[in-house]
Structure 1
Amino acid sequence: MAARAAIAVLGAFAAANTIAAPVASAAPKCSDIEVAFARGTDEPAGIGVVGQAFVDTLRPMVKGSTVSTYAVKYPATWHFWKAAAGATDLSKRIQATAARCPDTKIVMGGYSQGAAVVDVVATSPIAGLGYTAPLPAAVVPHIAAVVVFGNPSARIGQPLTRMSPVFGSRTADLCAPNDPVCSLGRDFHSHVRYPESGLVKLAAQWVTRHAQAPAASPTVRR
């Protein structure tokens, strides 16, 4: 499967993910919007720098709505096959949130290896290769939008917008110019500059449209 094969792509670019991350804030019992975000390789536990920049940008755009965060629990180490553990944790969180807070609009997000985590959840309807908690069909409508940054699947020609017939139209799969993790570019610095690239703002605008209006929006490809 392309989503899982793409995890191996990260091995060639491990040195690119060296930025530090603040810890995600505790989620209230039920919020209007919950952002479940998987950090990049070697970032400390939390939603990561890119995830935090995304949430900070999103909050003022969804005025009147409460926004909580959930940091996906997984090693985020150089052992990329362990991303499956993150996919299991992300899926279980989404299922629990949908059951406990049915009116909450869920946003799946991830950066770099975290994007590969999201890929597995969004494209794997059955368990396998360490992924043990596929999303039930009944939970899918609770996910308002998906945002991924520096997605390694895009480097092998399989962005999430193309891989997932279920979530493709709800997904912003964003790749900075010349980012070697998600494109054939060679600018390693671009991979750690998503907060400054303008793509975080674009992702927040994408989520705002989906979270505040039920109508489908055009697929975003970068």
Structure 2
Amino acid sequence: MTSKLMSTLAVATFAAAVSTIAAAPSATAEPCPDVQVIFARGTTEPAGLGSVGGPFVEDLRAKVAPQSVVGTAVDYPATNDFGNSVPAGTSAARALIESTAASCPNTKMVLGGFSQGAAVVQLAANEATAQSGDHVAASALFGAPRSSFSSMLASGQALPSLAPQYAANAIDQCNVGDPICWEGGMDMGAHVSYVQSGKVAQAADFVAARV
């Protein structure tokens, strides 16, 4: 093979490679959704959106279609060690709220939480920057710690509540007899039946009207 032919082949091979690289699609970030649900699961539930958060996101998605809805789970321990678990969850949820507001300013945020997770998102919302809070369209709480029993579990620490700027667009669901939120309640079965009681679907209706 002559040097001229080898040179021609080399140039052709290089040109083909450049053409292939140019034609390959570039990696792009996922587009911002219309609605971002930030949800904190309940105590001892496996990592993820949890038994309440998953159905809530699905119900909301169906109600606001064709808007896009993405559910993001707060990554925190969700253990019975409330003194460490709640602060860790609060920090993680606040970071999600602030990063979503910064990176997706046109996205409507929905905050949600079940049981301990409800306490987490309330504290996180109250601690988030005012600019981030402006992007929160609605909040949905389920079995939020409200009772004397919850206060006892929290070793007498003050139980959180949503700051006034969030309260008007928040729904606070409590099943009758749920000892975590219903004063004097003694039915732990009520605490784990928010889907069955229809309160998850009700909350999705409430939030859908605000996004």
Identify the TM-score tier after normalising by the shorter chain: 0.7 to 0.9
How much has 1:159 moved relative to structure 2?
Answer: 7.6
- Secondary structure of 2:96's counterpart equals helix
Matching residue of 2:205: 205
Question: Which 4+ runs in 1 deviate beyond 6 A?
Answer: none
Matching residue of 1:148: 141
- Secondary structure of 2:209's counterpart equals helix
TM-score, normalised by the number of residues in structure 1: 0.74
Tell me the amino acid that sits aligned with residue 57 of structure 1.
D
Partner Cα separation in structure 1 for residue 203 and residue 72 of structure 2: 17
Tell me the amino acid that sits aligned with residue 141 of structure 1.
D
Mapping of residues 131-142 of structure 1, within 5 Å: 134-142=127-135
* Aligned length in residues: 172
Greater relative contact order (CA < 8 Å, ≥ 6 in sequence): 1
Greater gyration radius? 2
Q: 1:148 to 1:57 in 2, by over 3 A?
A: same
**Cα offsets for 1:9-68 (capped at 9, x unmatched):** xxxxxxxxxxxxxxxxxx954100010000001111101010001011111100110000
| Percent of matched pairs sharing the same residue | 44
- Secondary structure of 2:171's counterpart equals strand
Matching residue of 1:170: 169
How much has 1:203 moved relative to structure 2?
Answer: 0.6
Partner Cα separation in structure 1 for residue 66 and residue 122 of structure 2: 30
How much has 1:84 moved relative to structure 2?
Answer: 1.1
Q: 1:96 to 1:45 in 2, by over 3 A?
A: same
CA contact 1:150–1:181 (8 Å) conserved in 2: yes
Matching residue of 1:131: none
Which of 116, 121, 131 pairs up with 1:118?
Answer: 121
What is the aligned-residue RMSD (CA, Å)?
Answer: 1.8
Q: 1:182 to 1:137 in 2, by over 3 A?
A: same
**Cα offsets for 1:97-154 (capped at 9, x unmatched):** 111111100001000000010121233xxxxxxxxxx3111111100001110001x2
Matching residue of 1:192: 192
Which of 68, 75, 78 pairs up with 1:76?
Answer: 78
Tell me the amino acid that sits aligned with residue 71 of structure 1.
A
Mapping of residues 1-222 of structure 1, within 5 Å: 28-81=30-83, 82-123=85-126, 134-152=127-145, 154-156=146-148, 160=161, 163-183=162-182, 184-211=184-211
TM-score, normalised by the number of residues in structure 2: 0.77
- Secondary structure of 1:106's counterpart equals strand
Unaligned regions of 5+ residues in structure 2, if any?
A: 1-28, 152-158
CA contact 2:125–2:133 (8 Å) conserved in 1: no
